[in-house]
């Protein structure tokens, strides 16, 4: 999301003089080095063709949401306070399986630290906090307003400051979460409440994207650099390592292409800067679910069709798998079709002195599917009226540049770009590998059918032998009972 926002601002907002990007050092790379590496991504190729010096506007600064004063040097902090006019707060911990303390530190205390910094900015015009539509788990319809949480965010911050033992987290977390499936949605809801507290001193607004998917159009279709969410599920199925998933096929899903979400974020900042004092914090839900009328069944079916036409390099087995709402059936399939093959492969790797990895892969897949289950096993209804109203004061040209609806709702075409984008940008499989991937897929299909045929044949032999054994046993029992009777 952050990269797509940066690209859009540099390409479509020429009036922007400078963009301060706060980032942590990562993999021994400082923010400046990271930004140099980011500028080489395919995402920025159209921008750099248009303006080779576009990144001269980008000013990387070292910062960390989890540290006091955001871990910023004082000279950088002073520069930001003097110069920045618009703040986009996209920083968050996205690990849905992380514990309470980690999420509170990044999503709650981190948001508070950014708000405190923004409060000191001399020329601030707009502060946009990026949340998620799934932070409201209780209502049947997610409205574009702030729902008051069951607990006070400041109390949760105070509570986690003295938590250190992980065994303590589990009991306390279960009591705090209530209807929330994980600490991510819980802390994002609390963060919205924090943002709302600053509405009289800071021009705040909140944007809630649904599940973010590859770009629909801008700067080109199919950009993605993360395997989170449904894309990761489809890839795992395409690699043959995922054979079952808990999912209601008739349940409505809520997704949004990353470029549509970014357009809403930019327009929300513009609209808030143009408005005066407000009584309520503006909230914008961003989702294409109702527009496309997507169900999880449609997504899975179209995904399988796209993977058959544009396969990723097969991994463990021929792509397949099914969805179910029956937990027993799901666990049975996972055990026999995922766990046992993974153990067998790891055993062979161990015997031949190689590093085992399949069970680690399976554990990641199981954890990811367990988290995703909360969203796939229910229908979500999201109100997006305020988001659509962001176009009201724009010219036709501006509406086309900052589109809030999918330009083309052809699901087959969208899924094609999503799969190809994932193949190229996430899995690093160039498009010229498609012919070899298709050949491998055919070979895997033949092996799959032969193996299943062998299993059916062996099962038939077993059943026939069992039948004759039972028949022989019954005959012997009958003869024995006759002799005993006589």
Strands 381-382 and 141-142: parallel
Short-list 94, 41, 87, 100, CA closest to 61: 87
Q: Following DSSP, what letter does each residue of 336-368 receive, concatenated?
A: IIIIHHHHHHHHHHHHTTPPP-HHHHHHHHHHH
pTM: 0.89
d(CA 129, CA 188): 10
Question: Could you list the pLDDT tens digit for every one of the 486 residues in the chain?
Answer: 899 999 999 999 988 999 999 988 887 788 899 999 999 999 999 999 999 999 999 999 999 998 988 999 999 999 999 999 999 999 887 776 677 888 888 899 999 999 999 999 999 999 999 999 988 877 678 899 998 888 899 998 888 877 765 555 677 888 888 888 888 888 999 999 999 999 999 999 999 999 999 998 889 999 998 887 788 888 888 888 888 899 988 988 888 999 999 999 999 999 998 877 788 999 999 988 667 778 888 888 888 888 888 988 877 777 878 888 999 999 988 888 888 888 888 898 888 888 888 888 888 888 878 878 888 888 888 899 999 999 988 899 999 999 987 655 678 888 899 999 999 999 899 999 888 888 888 887 887 778 777 767 677 787 887 777 777 765 655 455 554 554
206 neighbors 282 (Cβ within 8 angstroms): yes
**pLDDT at position 252, please?**
86
**324: Cβ contacts below 8 Å, ≥ 6 apart:** 244, 245, 246, 247, 330, 333
Position 446 scores a pLDDT of 84
Give the count of beta carbons closer than 10 Å to the beta carbon of residue 89.
23
Contacts of 276 (CB under 8 A, 6+ apart): none
Farthest CA pair distance, the chain: 109
pLDDT of residue 444: 77
pLDDT of res. 118 = 95
Helices (H), 198-326: 230-238, 258-274, 289-292, 296-309
Instruction: Please give the angle made by the CA atoms of 283, 285 and 288, to the nearest 5 degrees.
Output: 165
Is residue 129 reached through a cis peptide bond, with omega within 30 degrees of 0 on the bond before it? no
What pLDDT shows up at residue 81? 95
HEC per residue, 360-417: HHHHHHHHHHHHHHHHHCCCCEECCHHHHHHHCCCCHHHHHHCCCCCCCCCHHHHHHH
Find the length of the chain.
486
Closest CA to 387 of 274, 268, 277: 268
DSSP one-letter code for 428: -
Of 412, 428, 441, 189, residue with least CA distance to 308: 441
* pLDDT at 150 (0 to 100): 86
Read off the tokens for 216.
């629909």
Q: Give residue 45's pLDDT.
A: 94
* Separation between Cα atoms, residue 431 and residue 141, nearest integer Å: 41
Provide the CA 366 distance to its chain's centre, in angstroms: 15
| pLDDT score for 164 | 63
**Domain locations along the chain:** 226-251+293-379+387-429, 431-486
The H-assigned helical ranges of 84-165 are 100-103, 110-119, 153-161
CA distances (Å), origin 33, targets 29, 42, 240: 6, 17, 37
Closest CA to 19 of 31, 34, 6, 30: 6
């Amino acid at each position: 999301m952050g990269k797509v926002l940066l690209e859009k601002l540099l390409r479509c907002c020429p009036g922007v003089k400078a963009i301060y990007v706060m980032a942590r050092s990562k993999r021994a790379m400082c923010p400046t080095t990271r930004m140099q590496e980011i500028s080489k991504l395919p995402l920025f190729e159209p921008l750099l063709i248009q303006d080779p010096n576009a990144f001269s506007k980008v000013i990387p600064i070292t910062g960390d949401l989890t540290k006091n004063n955001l871990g910023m040097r004082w000279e950088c902090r002073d520069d930001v306070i003097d110069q920045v006019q618009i703040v986009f707060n996209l920083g968050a911990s996205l690990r849905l399986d992380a514990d309470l303390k980690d999420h509170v530190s990044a999503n709650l205390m981190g948001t508070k630290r950014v708000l405190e910094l923004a409060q000191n900015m001399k020329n601030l015009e707009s502060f946009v906090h990026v949340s998620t539509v799934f932070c409201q788990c209780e209502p049947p319809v997610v409205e574009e307003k702030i729902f008051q949480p069951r607990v006070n965010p400041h109390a949760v911050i105070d509570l986690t400051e003295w938590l250190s033992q992980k065994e303590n987290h589990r009991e306390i977390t279960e009591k705090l979460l209530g209807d929330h499936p994980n600490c991510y949605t819980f802390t994002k809801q609390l963060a919205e409440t924090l943002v709302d507290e600053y509405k009289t001193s800071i021009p705040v607004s909140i944007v809630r994207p649904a599940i973010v998917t590859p770009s629909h159009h801008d700067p080109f279709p199919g950009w993605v650099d993360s395997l989170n969410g449904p894309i990761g599920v489809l890839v795992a199925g395409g690699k043959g390592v995922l054979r079952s998933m808990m999912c209601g096929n008739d349940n409505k899903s809520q997704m949004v292409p990353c470029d549509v979400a970014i357009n809403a974020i930019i327009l929300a900042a513009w609209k808030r800067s143009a408005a005066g004092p407000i009584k309520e914090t503006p909230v914008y839900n961003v989702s294409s679910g109702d527009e496309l009328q997507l169900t999880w069944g449609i997504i899975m079916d179209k995904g399988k069709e796209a993977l058959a036409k544009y396969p990723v390099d097969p991994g463990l087995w021929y792509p397949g798998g099914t969805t179910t709402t029956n937990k027993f059936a799901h666990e049975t399939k996972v055990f026999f079709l995922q766990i046992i093959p993974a153990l067998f492969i790891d055993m062979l790797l161990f015997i031949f002195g190689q590093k085992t990895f399949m069970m680690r892969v399976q554990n990641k897949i199981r954890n990811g599917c367990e988290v995703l289950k909360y969203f796939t096993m229910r229908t979500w209804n999201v109100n997006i009226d305020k988001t659509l109203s962001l176009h009201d004061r724009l010219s036709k040209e501006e509406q086309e540049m900052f589109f809030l609806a999918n330009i083309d709702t052809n699901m087959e075409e969208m899924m094609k770009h999503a799969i190809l984008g994932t193949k190229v940008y996430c899995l690093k499989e160039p498009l010229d590998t498609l012919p070899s991937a298709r050949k491998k897929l055919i070979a895997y299909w033949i092996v799959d059918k032969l193996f299943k045929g062998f299993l059916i044949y062996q099962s038939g032999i077993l059943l026939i032998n069992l039948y004759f054994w039972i028949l022989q046993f019954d005959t012997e029992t009958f003869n024995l009972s006759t002799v005993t009777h006589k």
